[in-house]
Amino acid sequence: MTTPVHPESPTQLVLITGMSGSGKSVALTALEDVGFYCVDNLPPELLESFIKLEQSHNAPKVAIAMDVRSASSLPGLPRRLARLQNDPERPVHLTTVFLDATTETLVRRFSETRRVHPLSLKVSNDQHRALVDAIEHERDLLAELREQALVIDTSLIRPMRLRSQVKDMLGTTQAPLTLVFESFAFKRGVPMDADFVFDVRMLPNPHYEAELKPLSGLDLPVAEFLAAQPEVAQMEAQITQFLRHWMPHMLRDHRSYVTVALGCTGGQHRSVYLVERLAQAFHAEWSTRVRHRELDAWIRNGA
């Protein structure tokens, strides 16, 4: 049975875009699982008429994937989205999600699947160089959309984890602004989706304590060890002060998500502990989410 929707209820529109090979089809499937009506590769010219049609059917949640296959129409997309959001009769609640990944990761994915990049011209005998050039050209074409979107870096996450992350962030009613706290290891690179990055490698490292080395920042012994270190408390207080000062400014700038990434050497102890502490500290003020990039893989692999 279809749930009746008040005629003036805003349609929740999620626009999925991003780099070819970054996981857009996975994200779209995840939204379909939580009740979104999903359309892949809708031409931008049809966006407004399609949304009006869905509104006439009282569709509360719609997700659309657009990418560089519609490159000729992408320059006008921001204006079309603005018109939908500012419609005086029935405005749309828009969230734009941009899926990204490192060039190295995208090259590997295309090589493994033997897919042809949509911008590949095949004018060179050096297929690797041609693929890299196509990816970099795609980045240039999508740069404006990326600046206005919630960016998710899929370089180091598997499809199952991406589906879970998308459902968690977009499958429920959204708060005005959500703080995402993410731990990571510098040795595996800084997350591409980070708005703020804090380096906590100078803090005392539980890795060098034999009984703590196999544990993580989620374990009580590690938490007790770090809580007893004055430098850790000082770092936590300074990051908290910084965020409390600037978050209201981010909200006034119409941001929906702000990703705060904390990195240590292995992404197992210090960054994990501080991410949990910060999420707890801000939970009462803002909607919060937690990600542990390396720890998720560490647990999944049975380490």
φ, ψ (nearest 5 deg) of residue 197: -125, 130
Beta pairing class for 92-100 and 61-65: unpaired
The answer to whether residues 10 and 92 touch, using CB atoms and an 8 Å cutoff, is yes
Write out the chain's pLDDT in tens, 303 residues: 344 444 456 788 999 999 999 999 999 999 998 889 999 989 889 999 999 998 888 888 999 999 888 767 777 888 888 899 888 888 888 889 999 999 999 999 998 888 888 887 655 566 777 889 999 999 998 988 888 888 999 998 888 889 988 888 876 555 678 899 999 999 999 998 899 999 999 999 999 999 999 999 999 999 999 999 999 999 999 999 999 999 988 887 767 789 999 999 999 999 999 999 999 999 988 889 999 999 876 544 444
> What confidence score (pLDDT) does residue 272 get?
98
The residue type at 108: R
The secondary structure element, H or E, covering residue 295 is: helix 293-300
> What confidence score (pLDDT) does residue 157 get?
87
Between CA 68 and CA 141 the distance in angstroms is 7
* Residue whose C-alpha is closest to residue 85's, from 249, 287, 254, 286: 254
Between CA 262 and CA 267 the distance in angstroms is 9
Per the listing, tokens 């929906």 go with: 256
* Residue whose C-alpha is closest to residue 254's, from 139, 119, 126, 95: 95
Between CA 68 and CA 138 the distance in angstroms is 7
> What confidence score (pLDDT) does residue 5 get?
44
Give the residues across from 261 on adjacent strands: 182, 197
Cα–Cα separations (whole angstroms), residue 228 to 118, 225, 265: 54, 5, 20
Between CA 179 and CA 256 the distance in angstroms is 9
> What confidence score (pLDDT) does residue 127 get?
74
> What confidence score (pLDDT) does residue 121 get?
65
The CATH architecture assigned to 11-170 reads 3-Layer(aba) Sandwich (3.40)
> What confidence score (pLDDT) does residue 295 get?
85
> What confidence score (pLDDT) does residue 103 get?
94
Domain ranges of the chain: 11-170, 178-300
> What confidence score (pLDDT) does residue 1 get?
39
Between CA 203 and CA 61 the distance in angstroms is 45
> What confidence score (pLDDT) does residue 126 get?
67
pTM score > 0.85 for this model? no
